[in-house]
A and B are shown apart, each in its own frame.
Chain A
């Protein structure tokens, strides 16, 4: 006799729905961020009025008739009315998502995955280190930290992009840089003479932070090569592996740890991650042939 697997809905899903069934949402705002990157603001269309998530979690976005893609949530966790996703158009589904405009329908499963452990990090100095589109999954962290600012020590944001034209959320970064309670370091790989900021890789800026390594935690999100070399610099700075958190990207398909596509050693990135502390994931992190 076949046995039936009972799926436990993740927080945020309505209990009577299967976690494999997308909820209907509607695009309420489209914004072009960069040449190939855009932001969709979504609202539920199934009668529910709220959507709550924790920074670091992701949704499976379903382009009707085309397929699903895992996309990190990049909006403010305090905004429970709308869900915001910043997406790079790189594949079939994301290129179709890029064509969506206000009023169009979209399916959504989530929120899924483990969040950044922000409550546990109260009282710490923070290094938020990211590059390219990796800023999108960390933007909810920044919103959270800014709305709970007294709970944290020094906060340093380090962001790298290929060129000044590739800087994501540029206006927000400029606004954050203007704050007295935050240090924002931005660097690019190369730039024209009108750029007066840093040129070089993000790892070069880690040594310029003013955190106490014994009481600091680092939150990293970006391409694997960036995180690998940044972790090395953070360890050199004196941070403990358990205080370095990385958000991983793998081939996530079910989002529930069932299909196994995102397996990384003993972990399923979609269910056990995407956020891991480096002491847990270090042995598998950027390991070749895995």
Chain B
């Protein structure tokens, strides 16, 4: 197993994926290290990467004219940042900025889209995981709307 394949296997999003699938994914994956305070993407930009965060933290924020940035969510180790490979091109809905040095696996979504077309079984595995992640995020965001800490 290559070191990249081992890194892919170690990420919670890909846990349990077969060695064949991991080897296929390796072709679309790059390890990235992003310094603290760097804007990774801006709202409206094309989302060309799906990030599997290995360490560090990323803030998702919305820019409000005359009122500045407002962070609405932060992601950390083990989480997934991005919308996937369906219905390309996708565009970022938020601004994304690292709060600390962040290491991630960047998966090229165009490459992923081709890969899952050619290997539907891998596509199904990844889609199941992505749906689970998105469902969990929707639940968390709903809780944020109900004034969780007010009496």
A223 is an interface residue with CB less than 8 A from chain B? yes
Q: Across the interface, do B149 and A203 meet the contact criterion of CB distance under 8 Å?
A: no
State which size class the interface on B falls in.
20 to 34
Q: Which residues of B contact A249 (CB under 8 A)?
A: 151
A202-B148, A223-B148, A223-B151 are contacts. A192–B140 as well, Cβ < 8 Å?
no
B99 is an interface residue with CB less than 8 A from chain A? yes
B81 is an interface residue with CB less than 8 A from chain A? no
Q: Among B43-51, B72-80, B85-93, B127-135, which stretch is in contact with chain A?
A: B72-80
A201-B143, A203-B140 are contacts. A223–B74 as well, Cβ < 8 Å?
no
B71 is an interface residue with CB less than 8 A from chain A? yes
Summed over the interface, the residue pairs from A and B with CB atoms below 8 Å come to a total of 73
A-B contact pairs, 12 of them (CB 8 A): A90-B151, A132-B149, A162-B147, A193-B61, A195-B71, A199-B71, A200-B144, A201-B148, A203-B143, A223-B151, A225-B143, A229-B143
Bound-state Cα–Cα, A204 to B76, Å: 10
A40 is an interface residue with CB less than 8 A from chain B? no
A201-B148, A229-B143 are contacts. A208–B71 as well, Cβ < 8 Å?
no
Q: Across the interface, do A192 and B68 meet the contact criterion of CB distance under 8 Å?
A: yes
Which residues, 19 to 72 on B, are CB-close (under 8 Å) to A?
57, 59-61, 68-72
Q: Across the interface, do A199 and B150 meet the contact criterion of CB distance under 8 Å?
A: no
- B4 to nearest A CB, angstroms? 25
State which size class the interface on A falls in.
20 to 34
Q: Which residues of A contact B71 (CB under 8 A)?
A: 190-193, 195, 199
Bound-state Cα–Cα, A162 to B143, Å: 12
Top-3 shortest CB links A-B: A132-B149, A131-B149, A193-B69
B146 is an interface residue with CB less than 8 A from chain A? yes
Select A226's contact among B76, B100, B148, beta carbons within 8 Å: B148
Q: Which residues of B contact A133 (CB under 8 A)?
A: 151
Specify the chain A residue showing the minimal Cβ separation from B62.
A190
- B35 to nearest A CB, angstroms? 14
Specify the chain A residue showing the minimal Cβ separation from B100.
A196
Select A161's contact among B68, B77, B149, beta carbons within 8 Å: B149
- A155 to nearest B CB, angstroms? 20
Q: Across the interface, do A199 and B148 meet the contact criterion of CB distance under 8 Å?
A: no
A193-B68, A201-B143 are contacts. A162–B150 as well, Cβ < 8 Å?
yes
Q: Across the interface, do B140 and A201 meet the contact criterion of CB distance under 8 Å?
A: yes
Bound-state Cα–Cα, A225 to B61, Å: 25
List residues of chain B with CB under 8 Å of any chain A CB: 57, 59-61, 68-74, 76-77, 99-100, 140, 143-144, 146-151
- B120 to nearest A CB, angstroms? 31
Q: Across the interface, do B140 and A200 meet the contact criterion of CB distance under 8 Å?
A: yes
Bound-state Cα–Cα, A132 to B76, Å: 23
Q: Which residues of A contact B72 (CB under 8 A)?
A: 190, 199
Q: Across the interface, do A200 and B70 meet the contact criterion of CB distance under 8 Å?
A: no
Q: Across the interface, do A225 and B73 meet the contact criterion of CB distance under 8 Å?
A: no
Which residues, 176 to 210 on A, are CB-close (under 8 Å) to B?
187, 189-193, 195-204, 208
Q: Across the interface, do B150 and A192 meet the contact criterion of CB distance under 8 Å?
A: no
Q: Which residues of B contact A162 (CB under 8 A)?
A: 147, 149-150
Select A200's contact among B68, B74, B146, B147, beta carbons within 8 Å: B74
A222 is an interface residue with CB less than 8 A from chain B? yes
Q: Which residues of A contact B99 (CB under 8 A)?
A: 196
Q: Across the interface, do B140 and A191 meet the contact criterion of CB distance under 8 Å?
A: no
Q: Across the interface, do A208 and B76 meet the contact criterion of CB distance under 8 Å?
A: yes
Q: Which residues of B contact A222 (CB under 8 A)?
A: 149
Q: Across the interface, do A189 and B151 meet the contact criterion of CB distance under 8 Å?
A: no
Q: Which residues of B contact A189 (CB under 8 A)?
A: 144, 148-149
Bound-state Cα–Cα, A134 to B151, Å: 10
Q: Which residues of B contact A197 (CB under 8 A)?
A: 74
Bound-state Cα–Cα, A198 to B75, Å: 8
A88 is an interface residue with CB less than 8 A from chain B? yes
Q: Which residues of A contact B76 (CB under 8 A)?
A: 198, 208
- B67 to nearest A CB, angstroms? 9
Bound-state Cα–Cα, A189 to B147, Å: 8
Bound-state Cα–Cα, A190 to B149, Å: 12
